[in-house]
């Protein structure tokens, strides 16, 4: 055990997880690569949990941060803040939500917490609909709407949460149905649930479940849900903390795969927009955002430095069509990984879209999740110079692959090759 690891254990909570038997200290990065304290170089296929969206040490972002820090670092929302207004205008326009208002936070957890506050105040109800296998953060309110037992440490809650089918396509009671039948069954479940409840404030849903193992319903499910929700006056919160900014390739936002319903009432975002700087936020229709009848501010949300980073990062993303790159290079990577998976009896499914890809592992010959295999592949990939993540609703048996959106074809081929070797070594 290294000295830093011992010091970490001495002062950190026991529940603060670290990857690897011998945890890494990452010291610097460039492009799609990072280096550890021992000088080892790794191809980064996890991006600090989908947060290094464009590239490590992107010159445009570091320059913007440095220049803003040289002027003023902090002011709070009590003062006019030009970088915050500039970024809010761009996010509002990109959101697709009419007459949008934007509130910046410091994390995705805080963004979802704010969305829940808005929805419950707007509807006068503490009842929330959420998806099974979901994850929305680690605050008291967001844990209480998280449908993944691995990340929900308490049953105490300020909210009454009711869980809906549909977030996981190939497990559960509707797994064997075709897509159209799957959607009809999930809609019927929602209708039945609403017939036995009071007045739900909102449905909160990730278009692609992140921590849950990059699972997703068939396109159009949330459009079908929206028809039901609208009849009951229930708001739709789209949690875009992991799916936003073009990561799925086909769309800029995950909700757009269900676009026949129009934009959500509330959209939350975080992670990639700051490229490592702490930015989260909420976009909502003006009547929803303005429904609070008490004062509120944010001390750190909308910080001039983080807003400068977000503006530079978003400009780079759009000017270099990284959404298109995610679609093209991500499509190639999924093909390569499916070919790798076809040769491994431990691989149940390779799924995803764009540069958001999951490899679900099971015990060969069964449908039983295999978290030990996932941990072994994680270690073997690191030994091969590749960093990946893991997750899933069945005991973290899904390998999560989400590199920076500037990933090159050569790097995609390299990563797929290392993963193939890791699966063989771990199997």
DSSP codes of every residue in 326-339: HHHHHHHHHHHHHH
Q: How far apart, in whole angstroms, are the C-alpha atoms of residue 41 and residue 50?
A: 19
Tokens of 257: 């795969």
For residues 61 and 275, the answer to whether their CB atoms sit within 8 Å is yes
* pLDDT tens, position by position, 278-296: 999 999 999 999 999 999 9
Contact 333, 357 (CB under 8 A): yes
Domain extents for the chain? Answer: 3-54+322-426, 63-319
Kindly report, residue by residue over 243-262, the tens digit of the pLDDT.
999 999 999 999 999 988 79
Is residue 140 over pLDDT 90? Answer: no
State both tokens at 265. Answer: 């009432």
Report the run of H or E that residue 261 belongs to, with start and end: none
pLDDT digits over 185-203, tens only? 999 999 999 998 889 999 9
In 3D space, the residue among 161, 125, 121 whose CA is nearest the CA of residue 141 turns out to be: 161
Alpha helix ranges (H) inside 24-107: 47-50, 59-69, 82-95
Of the chain, the percentage scoring pLDDT greater than 90 comes to: 92
**Structural contact between residues 370 and 362, judged by C-beta atoms closer than 8 angstroms:** yes
pLDDT of the residue at 149: 79
C-alpha span between 37 and 200 (Å, rounded): 50
Judging by DSSP bridges, how do beta strands 356-361 and 33-36 pair with one another?
Answer: unpaired
Quote the strand ranges of 168-315, DSSP E.
Answer: 202-205, 235-239, 266-269, 280-285
Q: Indicate the helix (H) or strand (E) that contains 166.
A: none
Are 271 and 247 a contacting pair, CB within 8 Å?
no
Classified as helix, coil or strand, 191 is helix
Q: At what angle do helices 304-319 and 82-95 cross, to 10 degrees?
A: 40
Average pLDDT of the residues in 381-407: 94
pLDDT at 395: 76
Phi (first) and psi of residue 104, to 5 degrees: -95, 140
What pLDDT is recorded for position 197?
Answer: 87
H helices of 159-207, where? Answer: 179-194
For residues 76 and 401, give the distance between their C-alpha atoms in angstroms, rounded to a whole number.
Answer: 36
What residue spans of 124-164 are helical by DSSP H?
140-143
Crossing angle (nearest 10°) for helices 322-342 and 304-319: 70
Burial 151-163 (b: 16+ CB within 10 A, else e): bbeeeeeebebbe
Q: pLDDT confidence of 423, banded at 50, 70, 90? A: very high
154: which DSSP letter?
-
Average pLDDT score, the chain? 95
> What proportion of the chain, given as a percentage, has pLDDT over 70?
99
| CATH architecture of the domain covering 3-54+322-426 | Alpha-Beta Complex (3.90)
- Residues composing the chain: 427
Q: Which helix (H) or strand (E) holds 341?
A: helix 322-342
Check whether 1 has a pLDDT greater than 70: no
Binned at pLDDT 50, 70 and 90, residue 2 comes out as confident
CATH class of 63-319: alpha beta
Residue 158, both tokens:
């300020």
Instruction: Give every CB contact of residue 51 below 8 A, 6+ residues apart in sequence.
Output: 271, 272, 274, 275, 276
pLDDT-derived band of residue 155, with 50, 70 and 90 as boundaries?
Answer: confident
Q: Residue 259 class from Cβ within 10 Å (0-12 exposed, 13-18 middle, 19+ buried)?
A: middle
Check: CB of residue 203 under 8 Å from CB of residue 237: yes
Give pLDDT, residue 259: 81
């Amino acid at each position: 055990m290294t000295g830093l690891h011992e010091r970490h254990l001495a002062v950190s909570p026991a529940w603060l997880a670290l990857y690897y038997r011998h945890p890494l200290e990452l010291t610097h990065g460039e492009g799609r690569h990072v280096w550890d304290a021992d000088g080892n170089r790794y191809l980064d296929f996890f991006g600090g949990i989908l947060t290094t969206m464009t590239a490590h040490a992107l010159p445009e972002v570091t320059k913007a941060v440095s220049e803003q820090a040289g002027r003023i670092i902090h002011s709070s929302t009590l003062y006019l803040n030009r970088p915050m207004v500039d970024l809010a205008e761009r996010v509002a326009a990109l959101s697709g939500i009419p007459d949008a208002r934007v509130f910046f936070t410091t994390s995705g957890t805080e963004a979802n917490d704010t969305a829940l506050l808005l929805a419950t105040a707007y509807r006068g109800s503490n009842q929330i609909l959420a998806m099974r296998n979901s994850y929305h953060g680690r605050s008291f309110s967001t844990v209480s709407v998280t449908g993944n037992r691995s990340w929900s440490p308490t049953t105490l809650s300020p909210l009454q949460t009711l869980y809906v089918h549909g977030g996981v396509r190939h497990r559960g009671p509707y797994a064997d149905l075709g897509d159209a039948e799957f959607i009809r069954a999930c809609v019927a479940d929602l209708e039945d649930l609403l017939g036995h409840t009071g007045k739900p404030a909102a449905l909160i849903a990730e278009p692609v479940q992140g921590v849950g193992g990059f699972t997703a319903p068939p396109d159009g499910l949330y459009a079908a849900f929206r028809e039901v929700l609208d009849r009951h006056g229930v708001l739709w919160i789209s949690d875009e903390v992991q799916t936003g900014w073009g990561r799925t390739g086909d769309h800029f936002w995950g909700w757009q795969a269900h676009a026949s319903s129009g934009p959500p009432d509330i959209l939350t975002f975080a992670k990639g927009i700051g490229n490592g700087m702490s930015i989260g936020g909420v976009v909502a229709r003006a009547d929803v955002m303005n429904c609070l009848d008490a004062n509120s501010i944010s001390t750190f949300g909308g910080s001039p430095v983080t807003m400068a980073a977000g503006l530079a990062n978003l400009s780079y993303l759009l000017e270099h069509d990284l959404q298109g790159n995610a679609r093209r290079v991500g499509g190639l990577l999924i093909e390569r990984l499916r070919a790798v998976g076809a040769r491994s009896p431990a691989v149940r499914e390779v799924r995803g879209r764009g540069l958001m890809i999951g490899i679900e592992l099971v015990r060969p010959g069964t449908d039983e999740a295999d978290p030990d295999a996932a941990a072994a592949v994680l270690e073997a990939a690191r030994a091969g110079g590749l960093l990946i993540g893991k997750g899933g609703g069945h005991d973290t048996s899904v390998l999560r692959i989400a590199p920076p959106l500037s990933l090159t074809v050569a790097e995609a081929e390299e990563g797929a090759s290392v993963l193939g070797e890791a699966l063989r070594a771990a199997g």
